[in-house]
């Protein structure tokens, strides 16, 4: 297990190493005070000097005490950094491994099953689909809020993989919220109903794919709880347990969907039924019926299997991520926020008072 001070020291070594390499390659760089970009204090003396400057929070002026220096950021903020990323990852796994897959699976293949289970005249598949969608929206937003302490203190990792993770994650969240908000608007005309259902189903699977991709990318973000190990420079390398579990679950998910689609088609062919569409599967049974479509027994059993497998992958991945420690030799890496006390009004005020450049 890597302690906060060790991780912080390695990060400082990394931040000093990069300018040295730039100088070797002829890139102009100077460590003179007034030419410094806004960054965390490097020495105890630097921290003491910073603590003597007031932090202006509009009115009144608040003086920052000695406790709010890089030592505090090392022990307290780094702990929040680690806990926030873990919590964010666990919430993402709940959505990507269980809520969205089970919701999609039930809505796609079981609109003509469990017909006798209704509430307010609406079948159970819809209530489960709607309820898990609302829960997923709340959990995805909570997952982003879990990163607020990290972002305030450290900012974002500027690596390409981290940026891609960030982009795919927010695209997924935005599309999902739009789906929940407008998913109930359906035309009564069959032509347009087929179009809206196809769009709804297609976007749903795209969101699921983006979630999986975001999790896979997270295993290569510096100081990520889901990485496997780090190389000599302290950056992620290798394929982690989270990576393999995510890839395995996604592969099984595709197999389940393929098998259920073939099963649906075969059952319809045996009953001499021709549906308007199989992508998505449009129901032909009267919605007011309390009798299931024939030959749905095996499908019901497969739903139970799918539910158990999904829950097992979720349980295994969250426990593994929850108890995991940061491997030895890993560093936080470059972060976008280099203010003395983090990306806060206090830190940026001090940055300007010290005469640093790039105080943003």
| Angle at which helices 78-94 and 4-24 cross, to 10° | 100
**Structural domains in the chain, sorted by start:** 4-69+338-353 (no CATH), 71-323 (1.20.120)
The DSSP code sequence of 102-164 is HHHHHHHH-TTSSTT-EETTEEHHHHHHHHHHHHHHHHHHHHHHTTHHHHHHH----SHHHHH
Of the candidates 100, 110, 98, the residue with the CA atom closest to the CA atom of residue 299: 110
Contact 287, 123 (CB under 8 A): yes
Of 6, 48, 50, 7, nearest to 223 by C-alpha is 7
pLDDT for 214 equals 96
Tens digit of each residue's pLDDT (9 = 90 or more) over 66-113: 444 444 455 566 777 788 899 999 999 999 999 999 999 988 888 888
pTM as predicted: 0.76
Cis peptide preceding 171, ω within 30 of 0: no
pLDDT tens track for 192-227 = 777 787 888 888 889 999 999 999 999 999 889 999
The phi and psi torsions of 325 (rounded to 5 degrees) equal -105, 160
- Rounded Cα gap, residues 62 and 131, in angstroms: 46
In angstroms, the CA 139 to CA 131 distance is 12
CA angle 143, 201, 92 (to 5 degrees): 15
């Amino acid at each position: 297990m890597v302690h906060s001070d060790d991780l912080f020291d390695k990060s400082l070594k990394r931040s000093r190493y990069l300018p040295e390499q730039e100088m070797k390659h002829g890139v102009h760089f100077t460590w003179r005070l007034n030419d410094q970009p806004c960054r965390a204090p490097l020495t105890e003396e630097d921290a003491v000097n910073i603590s003597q400057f007031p932090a202006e929070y509009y009115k009144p002026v608040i003086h920052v005490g000695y406790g709010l220096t890089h030592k505090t950021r090392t022990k307290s903020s780094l702990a929040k950094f680690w806990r926030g990323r873990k919590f964010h990852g666990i919430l993402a796994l709940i959505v990507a491994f269980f809520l969205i897959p089970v919701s999609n699976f039930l809505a796609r293949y079981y609109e003509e099953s469990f017909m006798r289970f209704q509430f307010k005249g609406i079948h159970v598949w819809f209530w489960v689909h709607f309820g898990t969608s609302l829960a997923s929206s709340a959990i995805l937003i909570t997952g982003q809020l879990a990163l607020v302490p990290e972002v305030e203190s450290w900012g974002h990792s500027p690596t390409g993989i981290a940026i891609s993770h960030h982009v795919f994650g927010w695209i997924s969240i935005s599309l999902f919220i739009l789906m929940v908000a407008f998913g109930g608007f359906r035309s009564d005309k069959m032509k347009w109903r087929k179009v809206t259902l196809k769009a709804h189903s297609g976007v749903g699977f795209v969101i699921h794919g983006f979630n999986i991709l975001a999790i896979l990318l997270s295993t290569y973000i510096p100081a990520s709880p889901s990485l496997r190990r780090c190389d000599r420079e302290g950056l992620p390398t290798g394929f982690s347990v989270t990576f393999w579990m995510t890839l395995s679950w996604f592969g099984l998910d595709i197999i389940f969907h393929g098998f259920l689609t073939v099963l649906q088609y075969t059952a319809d062919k045996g009953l001499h039924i021709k549906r308007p569409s199989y992508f998505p599967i449009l129901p032909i049974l009267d919605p007011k019926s309390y009798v299931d479509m024939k030959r749905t027994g095996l499908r019901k059993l497969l739903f139970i299997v799918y539910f158990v497998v999904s829950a097992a992958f979720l349980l295994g991945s969250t426990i593994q991520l929850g108890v995991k420690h940061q491997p030895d030799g890993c560093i936080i890496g470059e972060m976008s926020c280099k203010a003395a006390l983090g990306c806060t009004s206090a830190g940026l005020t001090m940055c300007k008072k010290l005469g640093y450049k790039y105080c943003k």
